[in-house]
Chain A
Amino acid sequence: MTFIAKPRLHHPTLQTNKVGYTRRDYEGRISTLCAGCGHDSISAAIIQACWELDIEPHRVAKLSGIGCSSKTPDYFLGASHGFNTVHGRMPSVLTGANLANRELLYLGVSGDGDSASIGLGQFANAMRRGVRMAYIVENNGVYGLTKGQFSATADQGSKSKKGVVNNDSPVDLVGLALQLGATYVARSFSGDKEQLVPLIKGAMAHGGAAFIDVISPCVTFNNHGGSTKSYDYVRQHNDAVSRIDFITPGQEITAQYAPGELIEVSNHDGSVLRLRKLHADHDPTDRYAAMNYMHQHAAHGEVVTGLLYLDPLATDLHTALNTCAVPLASLGPDRLCPGAAALEKINAALR
């Protein structure tokens, strides 16, 4: 933890992306999380993903709930508007924000306590509605800010730092997201940037509700033997379903793959997700197969990571509500107010 601000000086050779920003332009304030916290790696992956996607930072709205994870939007995309809402209620605030202005990109950041414990209902209903957003849960299985209590994603039988064994079944947010209709469902590990960055890019480019559960070890309260959310445990049990490349529109595709080894999925913005399959029996476009696959492997103690399910034709809440193309927030009385003459007709009908 440091209080020294990063100098804003840019090295002249710092590379700019297509919209003229350097990677530094996607950074935020200095993190106040513990040194080695998985969440900081996720912030770095978000910065990398947004830079690579050529997103103008101010076109992103970043929202979060309460907790260590929910503090992180202050540590990336400093030129974006952010909203640190109330505990477990980020999904509803993001839903409202999204309804008000469909032109921005929405990034929801939450934690396991925030989404699986206090906010399970809002998580579930945002998935059901298909709110277009990248919803990232930074999942460490504990409450960090209140010093190490179990959250609802802690595995049954896992041990807290104080030696307490968790008796409750875990909430599996990935399983729920799949069941509830999320159209982009992934799990990753904060220690695997190579996998995480393209997953975030795919989520940001997705046309509906994209959910990524990122196992993100808590170095202070949940990184010991007996924990199933520690760096060591996740590294040993990580079982990736595919390697992912995110290909922006117009980018040349050069590599060759054997038939059946590769799946390419086009996003609505023209970008392509190319999945190099590591498991022949996993089909990322079949929701029910993905659920089965995940449950079977979880039963063997494996942490299945990667893009588990994707519906390339996904639509969102705006499609369902048939809202107009321009942001509702931009409409003035000329487009909204029926006027005095219409009111006179209403009056007449009420006499």
Chain B
Amino acid sequence: MKRIEAVNDFVIKFANVNGSGSASANELFAKAVMRMGVPVSPRNIFPSNIQGLPTWYEARVCEKGYHGRRGGVDMMVAMNPQTWDADMAEIEPGGYLLYDSTRPIPPDRFPDGVLVLGVPLTEIVNEAYADPRQRQLFKNIAYIGALAALLDMEDGVFEKLFAEQYRGKERLLDANMKALHLGRDYALAHLPCPLGLRMRRADRVGDQIFTDGNSAAALGLIYGGATVAAWYPITPSSSIPEAFEKYCHKFRVEASTGQHRFAIVQAEDELASIGMVVGAGWNGARAFTATSGPGVSLMTEFIGLAYFAEVPVTIIDVQRGGPSTGMPTRTQQSDLIACAYASHGDTKHVLLLPQDPHECFEHSAAALDLADRLQTPIFVMTDLDIGMNQRLCKPFVWDDARSYDRGKVMTREELEAGKDFGRYKDVDGDGIPWRTLPGTHPTKGAFFTRGTTRDPYARYSERGTDYVYNMERLLRKFRTAASLVPQPVLRKAAQPTRFGVIYFGSTSPAMHEALDVLQAEGVHLDALRLRAFPFPDSVPEFIAAHEKVFVVEQNRDAQMHSMLVNELDIDPARMVRVLHYDGTPITARFIAGAIRKNMVWHKEYA
């Protein structure tokens, strides 16, 4: 069996028990890789549980900077006896296994052809520490120490990371360093360090930042001026309002009074959380909620109201596996249709489709502007893969000259000057009416907001002509939205091609890698990354310019494909579905495989 040998290009997976403190040790490993100038993309694979069940941390080390999940495991750090056999089966032939050898494991439980590296972690930490909790926590740090030696990682990066983390807590700093050295020293003395699988300093990280999409979205909402947040806890979105609150306490507390320039309410359910956001938006505040698919299901009545009564609303949907409770801790892009057409009657909603934490920040800030400009719900469609995993991405950017677009809000002065106010009247031809905020003027501009049909002056009406005027205007407004939302990003193939591919959101890193792989094989595809719904004209133009267009997405029913067919009247035969929906993040291997297979099937390339 040929041993896997690779420098700065491998997948290492940590099999742990949740609640054991492994998460911070594993993150330490990822950060150390990054500090050596090598990109890394870790993913938490965790159960819907707090303590005692299996959890995994899969880190892809990749000097080329591909952040998509690769698939396959080159090295397994097996710390969970419950999942031992399944974990062994995942190791690639010629791979490596690091395990706690304190207790003997029968030889037949080790897979053939895997280099087995035993470290008596329990024994080592039990000798060094008396406190049971410390034994538990430092066992994790000790296996990181062993890895540091095995993978030839620089000692200095760990020291620096510990120093940053435990600034002012020298006792903890020393204890962690000790644990790291216990593991490292054992490995150096007893194991074949360094392995064929190893690290080498590079310069491929640059000024990128390492963060998760949920924190980034929360920060975007801070920068975008959200003041009211109402939410109901749901995986995988809860860390958005929690991060928002953390940032609020940092940036939004008045120094002189200690008072808050924000209001956060944990509501009794998603109906109430969206209701509060609708009320705050109606009254002129920038408000948001964060949720996931089941929450969107509960919110749909209010989403219809906000669409029809034209109230600014921002919803961050961190998608997870559906339907129903589905796979709460796994990723999917399966809420697209539920959000794009949420609520009864004819509705269409704006969706933004960020690809990474950088865009979670950008799109969340933009959503608040768009909600005010368009006076309608704006969805930011992130997912568990982007939301809850740390990812290397471009640093956040903010232009201090940027102001907030509050949209068409008629002022007291304009009303006083006698400007005509028809709440649901299209005076500018873009379908967007003017609104007034409660309390603006003593006698002018008040209106009654309702979910029932009304005439352009907001008077109750069940006349067909009034209804049609309103519905047509809403369509016109939706068309206006297409030019205001983030535009698609085109990546041209190295040479002219008849084939195209459409993708979006968290599929991006795997897609980019797949395009490189296919190009190396002589398969060329132009690629269009969608960043929003509704689709601007560049989308039908792209499809028209190619004989065949692959649509890559992470759901069973090809929801984006359906939306393209539905909105653009495109012949479905022109588009090929590439669907990944088992709850794990899509991989370049999967995408390239699906496209390759389709091409061969049709003998279109060879």
Contacts and interface: CB of A to CB of B under 8 A. Distances in A.
A332 B225 CA distance: 7
A350 to B, nearest CB: 4
Interface in B374-409: 395-400, 402-404
B484 to A, nearest CB: 19
B550 interface: no
A83 B449 contact: yes
A17 B436 CA distance: 26
B200 interface: no
Given A99-B285, A340-B400, A59 B257 contact: no
Interface string A97-119: 11111011000000000000000
Given A80-B446, A335-B261, A351 B269 contact: no
A85 B260 contact: no
B285 A92 contact: no
B395 A125 contact: no
Interface residues of A, number: 62
Contacts of A340: 397-400
Contacts of A82: 446-449
B227 to A, nearest CB: 4
Contacts of B227: 100, 328-329, 331, 336
Contacts of B265: 95, 99, 129, 317, 321
B482 interface: no
Interface string B424-456: 000000000000111111110011111110000
Given A100-B285, A329-B227, A332-B404, A93 B263 contact: no
A44 B563 CA distance: 51
A93 B313 CA distance: 12
Given A58-B446, A339-B398, A323 B259 contact: yes
Nearest to B287: A96
B254 A58 contact: no
Interface in B130-148: none
A332 B442 CA distance: 24
Contacts of B273: 92
Nearest to B399: A340
A343 interface: yes
A4 to B, nearest CB: 16
Given A82-B449, A324-B260, A89 B210 contact: no
Contacts of B436: 81
Interface stretch (A71-79, A148-156, A222-230, A261-269): A71-79
Interface string B246-285: 0000011010011111111101110111111111111111
A324 B275 contact: no
B442 A57 contact: yes
Nearest to A336: B225
Interface string A308-326: 0000000001100111110
A121 interface: yes
A336 B399 CA distance: 14
Nearest to A351: B209
Given A101-B285, A338-B223, A89 B446 contact: no
Given A81-B438, A81-B446, A336-B225, A343 B278 contact: no
A260 interface: no
Interface string B32-47: 0000000000000000
A56 B278 CA distance: 25
A328 B285 contact: yes
Given A58-B441, A100-B279, A328-B228, A85 B268 contact: no
B252 A93 contact: no
B110 interface: no
Given A83-B449, A125-B267, A322-B258, A93 B443 contact: no
Contacts of B275: 85-86, 89, 91-93, 95-96, 122
B287 A100 contact: yes
Contacts of A351: 205, 207-210
Contacts of A122: 268, 271-272, 275
B398 A337 contact: yes
A86 B451 contact: yes
A109 B556 CA distance: 45
Q: Interface majority SS on B: helix, strand, loop or mixed? A: loop
Contacts of A322: 258-260
A343 B208 CA distance: 14
Given A96-B281, A100-B279, A336 B252 contact: yes
A343 B398 contact: yes
Contacts of A100: 227-228, 279-285, 287
Given A84-B449, A121-B272, A337-B223, A101 B438 contact: yes
Contacts of A61: 283, 438-439
Contacts of A321: 260, 263-265
Given A92-B272, A96-B287, A99-B263, A104 B439 contact: yes
Contacts of A9: none
Q: Which of A56, A86, A125 has the most CB of B within 10 A?
A: A86
Q: Which of A59, A63, A318, A343 has the most CB of B within 10 A?
A: A343
A93 B258 CA distance: 27
B278 A96 contact: yes
B211 A96 contact: no
B442 A346 contact: no
B222 interface: yes
A276 B281 CA distance: 43
Contacts of B450: 83-84
A325 B259 contact: yes
Given A84-B448, A89-B302, A338 B279 contact: no
A342 interface: yes
Nearest to A101: B283
B352 interface: no
A113 B199 CA distance: 67
A13 interface: no
B432 to A, nearest CB: 19
A339 B209 CA distance: 18
Given A82-B448, A96-B283, A324 B261 contact: yes
Contacts of A335: 261
A247 to B, nearest CB: 26
A94 interface: yes
Contacts of A63: 279
Contacts of B114: none
Given A96-B275, A96-B279, A329 B284 contact: yes
A316 B225 CA distance: 24
Contacts of A331: 225, 227, 261
A254 interface: no
B443 A58 contact: yes
Nearest to B447: A81
Contacts of B395: 347, 350
B443 A323 contact: no
B334 to A, nearest CB: 26
Contact of B262 (A58, A59, A328, A347): A328
Given A79-B443, A323-B262, A328-B263, 11 more contacts: A86-B302, A92-B272, A95-B265, A100-B280, A322-B260, A324-B259, A329-B283, A332-B403, A336-B225, A338-B251, A343-B219
22 contacts: A61-B283, A74-B460, A78-B446, A81-B448, A85-B279, A86-B305, A91-B272, A92-B276, A93-B282, A96-B275, A96-B283, A97-B279, A99-B285, A100-B227, A101-B439, A124-B268, A322-B259, A327-B284, A336-B222, A338-B223, A343-B398, A347-B207
